[in-house]
Amino acid sequence: MNKRPLYFDYAATTPVDERVIKVMVECLGFTGNFGNPASSSHVFGQQARQSVEQARRQVAELVGATPEQIVWTSGATESNNLALKGVTQARGAGAGHVITSQIEHKAILDTARQLQDAGVAVTYLVPDAEGLITAQAVSEAMREDTFLVSLMLVNNELGTLNDIPAIGQVVRDRGALFHVDAAQGAGKVAIDLAQWPVDLMSFSAHKLYGPKGIGALYVGPRARQRLQAQIHGGGHEGGLRSGTLATHQIVAMGAAFALAAASFDEEKAVIERLRERLLEQLHSIPGVRLNGSPTRRIPHTLSLTFSEGEFNPAALLASIAFSATSACNSASNAPSHVLLALGHDARSASRTIRLSLGRFTTEQDIDQAVQLIKAACASAPAFWQ
């Protein structure tokens, strides 16, 4: 059996934590907690409902929300669609104006283009040189008819961290709603929705050691009456998202968020040490460059560009699981739209890799990865020189 590659693609997805798998499995099978949580007429439904509501509390506790503000979805992509389309459609007449940025996830960019096709004006902010969207940039882009701003907390390719409280205050002062895609930030950034001026926030379980296919949307008090459901049929989730709730996935997401809350400080410190170990060893490679702010970032995600003639990424494919671009671009083999927005050309983007660290990364993994990267630099093909 071939040895498995080192895993450095936690930003794409995380393995489900064994402790999460345990609670998930307990909701399957006839002897498990399998009932329909929408049914309260018998004990099976009641038990499932109690588990769903416990998970709702666990998700809310990690991000400083209240349980009733958490709406279950199939993942951050659906949450983003519900936020952008739901707010737009709830407005009724009048096209209006939406602000987002050039470096958002495709779940936002493609949805924004759908809004444009429906007549909404959309401004795509250009990031600064450090891959950040500033409150000043948002303020300058605001118009009288701006009704929604949507920006990510943590960039999925760069790991850069936007100043969401500052941006949110600008948006709130102008009367618009503020949506934040926090798929890459939950469990890595201390989020406090009780204090932050944020109206809508998207979450995903599979970025935080939970299963795929489950996520949530935080709906704050300013947004509750300004959001139209996108999936109808039963009025579940306060009328905002119909469909039978997947107890096993929801319970697993709750467990994953509870584990993240319990180990937040310890895990962040470990990842920071691993990140520093990685960067210190990579500094010996001539011309390697870290993309994005060196300070306003999470430690988990690194975007690294190597000098012309100094790197052969193909030499790493069998030994390290990494991303050459974001998962949303990989199917088309297109250059990263994030790197292009930062001023890279297609050739420079092709010499860029994203390494993302996680709960199961070890010092040995770091050391082995560095040696493999150095070997890939030594084997750079002649046509790049």
Q: Is residue 346 part of a domain?
A: yes
Q: Is residue 295 part of a domain?
A: yes
What residues are annotated to the active site?
Answer: 328
3-state secondary structure of 362: coil
Q: How confident is the model at residue 385 (pLDDT cuts 50, 70, 90)?
A: very low
Question: What does DSSP say about strands 301-305 and 352-356: parallel, antiparallel, or unpaired?
Answer: antiparallel
Q: What is the DSSP secondary structure assignment for residue 325, as one 8-state letter?
A: S
Q: Is residue 335 part of a domain?
A: yes
Residue-wise pLDDT for 25-64, tens only, equals 999 999 999 999 987 789 999 999 999 999 999 999 999 9
Q: Is residue 343 part of a domain?
A: yes
Tokens 């949580």 belong to 37
Tokens 């009641």 belong to 46
**pLDDT average, residue stretch 344-358:** 92
Query: Which helix (H) or strand (E) covers residue 43, if one does?
Result: helix 43-63
The mean-pLDDT minimum among 160-174, 218-232, 330-344 falls in: 330-344
Our count of domains for the chain comes to 1
1: pLDDT strictly greater than 60: no
Q: Is residue 28 part of a domain?
A: no
Which CATH number belongs to the domain containing residue 299 in this structure?
3.90.1150.10
Q: Give the per-residue pLDDT at 199.
A: 98
Between residues 180 and 348, the one the model is more confident about: 180
Residue-wise pLDDT for 269-316, tens only, equals 999 999 999 999 998 888 899 999 999 999 999 999 998 666 778 889
Tell me the residue range of the domain where 378 lies. Answer: 6-15+264-384
- Bridge partners of residue 354, in order along the sequence: 303, 323
| Residue 88 dihedral angles phi and psi, to the nearest 5° | -65, -50
Q: Is residue 106 part of a domain?
A: no
Residue 164: C-alpha distances to residues 93, 178, 330 (Å): 30, 10, 28
Give the best-scoring range by mean pLDDT among 30-44, 65-79, 82-96. 65-79
332: pLDDT strictly greater than 80: no
Q: How confident is the model at residue 82 (pLDDT cuts 50, 70, 90)?
A: very high
Q: Quote the CA–CA distance of 117 and 234 in Å, as a whole number.
A: 29
3-state secondary structure of 18: helix
Q: Is residue 351 part of a domain?
A: yes
pTM for this prediction: 0.95
Q: Is residue 345 part of a domain?
A: yes
Q: Give the per-residue pLDDT at 211.
A: 98
Residue-wise pLDDT for 116-159, tens only, equals 999 999 999 999 999 999 999 999 999 999 999 999 999 999 99
